[in-house]
Structure 1
Amino acid sequence: MQTAENYIHGQWVKGYDAHRRGDSIDPATGEVAAHFVEATLPEVDAAIASARTAFETTTWAQQPKLRSDVLRLFADRLEQNKAQVVQTLVQLNGKLQREAEGEVMAGISELRYYAGLARNLFGRVIEMEPNVYSHIEREAIGVAAIIVPWNAPVTLLVRSLAPALAAGCTVVIKAAHQTALVHAQVMACLVVDERIPTGVIHSFVEQGSEATQHLCAHPEVDVISFTGSTHVGKQIALSTAKNLTRLSLELGGKAPAIVRADADIPAAVRGIVSGACVMAGQMCTAISRVLVQESIAADFSAQLAHALSSVKVGPGHLPGSAMGPLLDVRNRDRILGEVQAASPDCRIVLAGTVPTDTPRGGAFITPSLVATQDLSSHYVQDEIFGPLITLEHFVSDDDAVHRANATRYGLAASVWTRDFRAARNVARRIKFGNVWVNAHNRLFAEIETGGYRQSGFGRLHGVEGLNDFMETKHVFMPCND
């Protein structure tokens, strides 16, 4: 059984002490599938110190062609090792084979995109007076800490790591212990490049939070890129306040799908089921609220419930599975409890259950659909992070906008309609960083994504994805004789 190690100061650190070794579990079986070595605080300190030294003393930040080529070949090696990474991702994360393949290919695409941008980091110059120049320069911010969650460990690593390296930063990465071996396999495709100066890249695994808290509060870290819950994002923000460390946060979501009466109902049902059940609902942009215009609510509810009840739940490696397990049995039982604890003001349209035809010990549960009009309901306000969808109805576009905006989250939403003028109007008025029309979860390396309000700040992907890893400097230069 393979063990994921920590990568510190140019080498994989051996550490097989029993008290430092942890287990990664296969969500489909509940059995141990891999091991990881938990990092120590001295190792994290060594990584930060090494990253600072590399940034200050090597020419990494001044070599855009090298950084571009490193990212390009990283993408090539990841593509060559795709089959192994996909297999491990399915085993440790539980997602479907096609979801895992899509995630790895998205990471490869992102690496190639930022390989191109690394060679296009231009500043500008203006002559303010005769022979007096102001140079506006763009340069790497310094040491970047990247905290990667378990639910998409390839994509969510690469979308921060690629722009950080393209900008010229050195990096310290904290990987999720649940998918540590996936992370190690991806990192192996990068660190094999001997042209990368020692100290530019570091990676560690932790099951608890002590080392991560230490990383976030460290004065030698210049920027933190974190994807995860709003609760943890707030804790990170508090820990960084004394250092005024820059933050890039993509946090929780409560994505609504707004279905107008003129929508193509069969297409909307298919798209919403897909958008809600992706990664078993364990995705911050997954649909968790369905807002349906009142005149079609009864018919749409019946069709949606039927489609959700038909979702085939099973192990990710089986071709017939349409939704994989949750991360673990604890989370499966949490979702079961959410349905069983529904208050009287909610109507259970479809109650999720543990399927009897899946492996014993697996974290499988079928989708649930809960109807409510109470905007203060826990089901409407809180991120549940699983295949539990709320169903609400609205009267007009104004009502739909009001309901969609009635949570503290603002990450992703979709609008389903044949009237594109109406779609554009609704998209403008709802407070979400990503709005799709007649689609959901369409993400691209070239297009920025991010949240409004308590779904975070900063942008990932695209040209703006570089901004959090770069500083703008003004150099005043009089050139008179």
Structure 2
Amino acid sequence: MTAASELQTTLGAMWGSRDPQPDLLDLVRRTPSGSPLLLVDGKRREARSGARFENVDPTTERVMGTTADAGPDDVEEAIAAARRAFDETSWSTDHAFRRRCLEQLHAGLARAADELRATAVWEVGAALRTTFAFHSDFALDLLPWFAELAETYAYDTVLPDQPWAAGTRRMLAREPVGVVAAITPWNFPLYTAMTKIAPALAAGNTAILKPAPQTPWHATLLARVVAEETDIPAGVLNIVPTSDNQVAELLTTDPRVDLVHFTGSTAVGRRIIANSAERIGRVALELGGKSANILLDDAPIADLVPVAAGMVCWSAGQGCVLPTRLLVPESRYDEAVELATAAYHAIPYGDPREPAVVQGPQISAAQRERVLSFIAKGREEGATLLAGGGVPADQQTGFFVEPTLFGDVARDATIAQQEIFGPVLCLMSYRDEDDAVALANNTAYGLAGSVFSGNPDRALSVARRVRSGMMSVNGGFFYARDLPVGGYKQSGLGHECGVLGFEEFLETKAIAIGS
């Protein structure tokens, strides 16, 4: 087995990828058609203005098709429809009906699973073999779990009597927030949509989904399934792709929206918080990260470094939880450099339609330039470029960046502090365990992290000291429908998934009933 194929196999096992079957290979190599229409008040339609925007394949740089471009009138109609559906229908109170509708949605999307995977390759540039996880199966798996919770969750809790409240019955009632604006990014568009839409609808809310303009077809495919294969009432879920950020921002300022649930950059998250101050509205934010992967001195470094390095190239590095800082003991640093450099030269990258490829292109020309500017900054600030660092010589078409590895990275260097969102790894050394924890915590972010040790108890002890909302110990996988996802510090507010994620979409009402 070659180094490339061995690394590919190991990464595949960790991230849920697998060899695509012939039918999927055939599908992904056809000319895509997409689903171009909005979903507003139960109807799939064009934008009121008739405007459309282009959907560009990041692998070929060709325009694949166009999508209806929602304007202010469309967003206004979507908000009004969601408000009316919440205020005037039984959606918020009919738990069994919500469960049935979400189970219908799951069945419809499951039938379209290969189309969803192909769409991820076309518009995200995701490597085909990696589309079985967050681009399809993991995302769809959220729906039946939240569907069941819609009916089984204990919405009312009776509190025990207190001496000073004799003769008064007391209870807590959990009720849906109301209208939810769900704003999603382009890197994992289906999964991030499901982390919002599934619990929001299950909890009895109505919603407006605004997908990223780079990846509209995931959302419009969802719109097609909702309209054609479910009994979800008109106005309960509205889907409004738009290429205009000012139009999208209307969702964050309208007082009829009760909760803005956003996944994306910390900079945009700050703006959403500022907008919420005007309307005194709730927000939930899943933002950026600069995760550290700590290999303790008793960890099997020879086995772990190649995989730890390769993980950063999964999804072309475009993932907020990816461990973009690899921390190794000073005594093993030279060994880690050799191992990581060899791994980076072995990572299979290129056309994501090819079954062997692990890393595809960046999402856009702008994102490629952003990544390249960080690489230039790393070199300028004195880090040692060990592998990659530019546009592949054999990939002049498409938004590709070579798998890139830096060593000798200063702790406060730009590339060690800021989220690059590309296939760039900072290899850094630490003196002892306390120094490793301090280094891991030395950023404004606190989203995720990893710790490896030959002693599981030691690894867990270190994990508890890292200021991050999610930690992997010895390879444990922290994404699951029943585990809450959330960050510390500038990585976000609130949670997704799990019961905590469900409760983000509920209000709490205290009720006292006199005798």
Question: TM-score, structure 1 length as denominator?
Answer: 0.95
**More deviation, 115-124/276-285:** 115-124
2:149 pairs with 1:117: yes
Counterpart of 1:47 in structure 2 is 78
Residue-by-residue CA offset, 1:348-382 (whole Å, 9 max, x unaligned): 12233322344x42111221111235222101111
Structure 1 residues not aligned, in runs of 5+: none
Q: Which of 61, 84, 92 is the matching residue for 2:123?
A: 92
Q: Aligned partners of 1:3, 1:113: CA distance in 2, in Å?
A: 27
Counterpart of 1:278 in structure 2 is 314
Q: Which amino acid is 1:31 matched to?
A: R
Counterpart of 2:262 in structure 1 is 226
Q: Per-residue deviation at 1:17?
A: 6.1
Counterpart of 1:101 in structure 2 is 132
Q: Which of 417, 422, 445 is the matching residue for 2:481?
A: 445
Counterpart of 1:458 in structure 2 is 494
Q: Per-residue deviation at 1:345?
A: 2.9
Q: Per-residue deviation at 1:70?
A: 1.1
Counterpart of 1:56 in structure 2 is 87
Counterpart of 1:256 in structure 2 is 292
Q: Aligned partners of 2:506, 2:67: CA distance in 1, in Å?
A: 33
Counterpart of 1:5 in structure 2 is 37
CA gap 1:17/1:344 in 2 versus in 1, 3 angstroms: closer
Residue-by-residue CA offset, 1:202-223 (whole Å, 9 max, x unaligned): 1101112111211101101111
Q: Provide the secondary structure at the position in 2 that maps to 1:177.
A: coil
Q: Which of 344, 347, 358 is the matching residue for 1:308?
A: 344
Counterpart of 1:72 in structure 2 is 103
Asked if 1 retains the 8 angstrom alpha-carbon contact of 2:264 and 2:288, the reply is yes
Q: Which amino acid is 1:5 matched to?
A: L
Q: Aligned partners of 1:344, 1:189: CA distance in 2, in Å?
A: 50
2:180 pairs with 1:163: no
2:333 pairs with 1:297: yes
Q: Per-residue deviation at 1:327?
A: 0.6
Q: Provide the secondary structure at the position in 1 that maps to 2:241.
A: strand
Q: Aligned partners of 2:432, 2:173: CA distance in 1, in Å?
A: 49
**More deviation, 342-351/218-227:** 342-351
2:451 pairs with 1:411: no
Q: Provide the secondary structure at the position in 2 that maps to 1:4.
A: coil
2:367 pairs with 1:331: yes
Q: Aligned partners of 2:36, 2:438: CA distance in 1, in Å?
A: 47
Q: Per-residue deviation at 1:339?
A: 2.3
Q: Per-residue deviation at 1:168?
A: 0.1
Asked if 2 retains the 8 angstrom alpha-carbon contact of 1:413 and 1:440, the reply is no
Q: Per-residue deviation at 1:98?
A: 2.5
CA gap 1:239/1:363 in 2 versus in 1, 3 angstroms: same
Q: Aligned partners of 2:160, 2:347: CA distance in 1, in Å?
A: 64
Q: Provide the secondary structure at the position in 1 that maps to 2:324.
A: strand
Counterpart of 2:283 in structure 1 is 247
2:271 pairs with 1:235: yes
Q: Per-residue deviation at 1:16?
A: 8.7
Q: Aligned partners of 2:102, 2:440: CA distance in 1, in Å?
A: 39
Q: Which amino acid is 1:352 matched to?
A: G
Q: Aligned partners of 1:441, 1:274: CA distance in 2, in Å?
A: 16
Asked if 1 retains the 8 angstrom alpha-carbon contact of 2:35 and 2:221, the reply is no
Q: Which of 204, 208, 213 is the matching residue for 1:172?
A: 208
Q: Which amino acid is 2:398 matched to?
A: G
Q: Provide the secondary structure at the position in 1 that maps to 2:305.
A: helix
Q: Aligned partners of 1:474, 1:159: CA distance in 2, in Å?
A: 28
Q: Per-residue deviation at 1:423?
A: 0.8
CA gap 1:36/1:281 in 2 versus in 1, 3 angstroms: same
Q: Aligned partners of 1:387, 1:130: CA distance in 2, in Å?
A: 63
Q: Provide the secondary structure at the position in 2 that maps to 1:48.
A: helix
CA gap 1:474/1:340 in 2 versus in 1, 3 angstroms: closer
Q: Per-residue deviation at 1:130?
A: 5.4
Q: Provide the secondary structure at the position in 2 that maps to 1:205.
A: coil
Q: Which amino acid is 1:47 matched to?
A: A
Segments ≥4 residues shifted beyond 6 Å: none
CA gap 1:440/1:289 in 2 versus in 1, 3 angstroms: farther
Q: Provide the secondary structure at the position in 2 that maps to 1:102.
A: coil
Counterpart of 1:379 in structure 2 is 415
Q: Provide the secondary structure at the position in 2 that maps to 1:224.
A: strand
Counterpart of 1:347 in structure 2 is 384
Asked if 2 retains the 8 angstrom alpha-carbon contact of 1:272 and 1:440, the reply is no
Counterpart of 2:16 in structure 1 is none
Residue-by-residue CA offset, 1:26-83 (whole Å, 9 max, x unaligned): 1110001121111110111111111111111100011111111111121111111111
Asked if 2 retains the 8 angstrom alpha-carbon contact of 1:70 and 1:193, the reply is no
CA gap 1:277/1:38 in 2 versus in 1, 3 angstroms: same
Q: Aligned partners of 2:88, 2:418: CA distance in 1, in Å?
A: 47
Q: Which of 21, 25, 41 is the matching residue for 2:56?
A: 25
Cα RMSD for the two superposed structures: 1.7
Q: Aligned partners of 1:229, 1:369: CA distance in 2, in Å?
A: 23
Q: Per-residue deviation at 1:186?
A: 2.1
Q: Which amino acid is 2:450 matched to?
A: S
**More deviation, 326-335/178-187:** 326-335
Q: Provide the secondary structure at the position in 1 that maps to 2:151.
A: coil
Residue-by-residue CA offset, 1:397-427 (whole Å, 9 max, x unaligned): 1000111111000001001211212211111
Q: Aligned partners of 1:340, 1:70: CA distance in 2, in Å?
A: 50
Q: Aligned partners of 1:208, 1:453: CA distance in 2, in Å?
A: 29
Question: TM-score, structure 2 length as denominator?
Answer: 0.89
Q: Per-residue deviation at 1:308?
A: 1.2
**More deviation, 327-336/94-103:** 327-336
Q: Aligned partners of 2:251, 2:291: CA distance in 1, in Å?
A: 31
Q: Which amino acid is 1:353 matched to?
A: G
Asked if 2 retains the 8 angstrom alpha-carbon contact of 1:224 and 1:248, the reply is yes
Counterpart of 1:473 in structure 2 is 509
Identity %: 31
Q: Provide the secondary structure at the position in 1 that maps to 2:405.
A: strand
Q: Provide the secondary structure at the position in 2 that maps to 1:60.
A: coil
